Chains A and B, each alone.
Chain A
Amino acid sequence: MASPLAQFEINKLIHLNVGDFDISFTNSSLAMVLSVVFILTILFFGLKNLKIVPSKIQALVELSYEFISNMIGDNIGKEGLRYLPFIFTLFFFILIGNLVGMMPLSFTWTSHIIVTFAIAFFIFLVATFIAIFKHGLFKFLGFFAPSGVPKPMLLLLVPIEIISYISRPVSLSVRLFANMMAGHTLLKVIGGFVFVLGANSFIIGGALPLAFLVALTGLEIVIAFLQAYVFAILTCLYINDAIHLH
């Protein structure tokens, strides 16, 4: 039987090399393209025949827009609405990526740390640049020195603040990657139980792990939503920190 980790293997579908760089089109890229296609299809049909009484799909698109704008309003405030396209894209790219991974025979691209880290690092750079452009380099560096602290203490506190700032992209990416990878591995392991127990006990023994598997699949879908939500809300918080340095 295949290893529970075999599902995370990356296979090249189309071999491509530019110089020394391998930019092959892999199953991971295919899953990403698929998620983008899903999002664009939903948005396209949702915005096609706009009516005052929305159709189901139009209501979906409107609700999702409202959801993100509420999130930004709660966490950043009015000046955060400029970043709505960015956060909207981020949330739905990750959400649909997680859900595409839930389909049988597909691939979960959010379960690879290099992908999530690339996204998180980009967010980190964006937040840092917003802070520097909005407040200037000097005030940005002041962010690392908490006010009202005796000077000798700064020697200890500034490195701590810097470490906790740099750890943001790490924790952001590890959170998404670890959740998706652990969840999918667990599903595969329990799936193996269904097969093995069922084969050894005239199918009856497989019923319990199968019931468990169904429940876990539900949980995994909840986690897909939750992690996309957490990713988006933390992006909001980081941009909020960048806009209102304190």
Chain B
Amino acid sequence: MQDKNEELKKKINEFKQNKNIGFKSNVHTSGMLGPGLKISIDLIASIFVGIMIGLGMDKLFSTKPIFFLIFLLLGVAAGFVKMYRSFINLEKKKKK
């Protein structure tokens, strides 16, 4: 009985020192799949929103295709800005 108690104490101490056990650490090891998907869809979504805004303004002012082209380029730029920011965040997380 005494032995078992000692063993349990040892185990509890080990667990306490290793606080990262459990849910939290498992999620971080899920790899680069999540960030990769996030970045790719961010790029597409920004371009899509840019196109939609451009087409909407063209319809409003009947100036097709001027605003479409302007906002398409802005959308692409926004997509790359987002991509760059996610990348910076990833690097920061890695350093931690």
Q: Which A positions have Cβ atoms within 8 angstroms of B?
A: 63, 66-67, 70, 156, 159-161, 163-164, 166-168, 170-171, 174-175, 178-179, 226, 229-230, 234
- A167/B33 in contact, CB under 8 A: no
Q: Which residue of A lies closest to B75 (CB)?
A: A163
Main secondary structure of the interface of A (DSSP, over half): helix
Q: How far is the CA of A230 from the CA of B71 in the complex (A)?
A: 28
Closest to B50 in A: A163
**Of B38, B41, B49, the contact of A163 (CB 8 Å cutoff):** B49
Interchain nearest-CB distance for B1 vs A (Å): 19
Chain B: interface residue total (CB-CB under 8 A): 26
Fill in one digit per residue for B28-54: 1 if any A CB lies within 8 Å of its CB, else 0: 001001100110011011101110010
10 A-B pairs with the lowest CB-CB distances in the bound complex, closest first: A171-B45, A163-B78, A170-B45, A164-B78, A167-B49, A167-B45, A167-B46, A160-B78, A175-B41, A67-B23
Q: Is the interface of B mostly helix, strand, loop or mixed?
A: helix
Question: Which residues on B sit within 8 Å (CB–CB) of A230?
Answer: 34, 37-38
**Residues of chain B from 69 to 85 with CB closer than 8 A to chain A in the complex:** 71, 74-75, 77-79, 81-82
C-alpha gap A66/B21 in the complex (Å): 13
* Inter-subunit contact A164/B81 (CB<8 Å): yes
Q: Is the CB of B30 within 8 A of A226?
A: yes
Q: How close is B65's CB to chain A, nearest CB, in angstroms?
A: 17
Say yes or no: is B24 at the interface (Cβ < 8 Å to chain A): yes
Inter-chain CA distance A137–B15, complex, in Å, is 49
Chain B's closest residue to A230 (CB) is B34
Q: Kindly state the separation between the CA atoms of A179 and B41 in the bound complex, as whole angstroms.
A: 11
- Additional A-B contact list (6), CB under 8 Å, known A156-B77, A159-B71, A167-B78: A164-B46, A167-B42, A167-B48, A170-B45, A226-B30, A226-B34
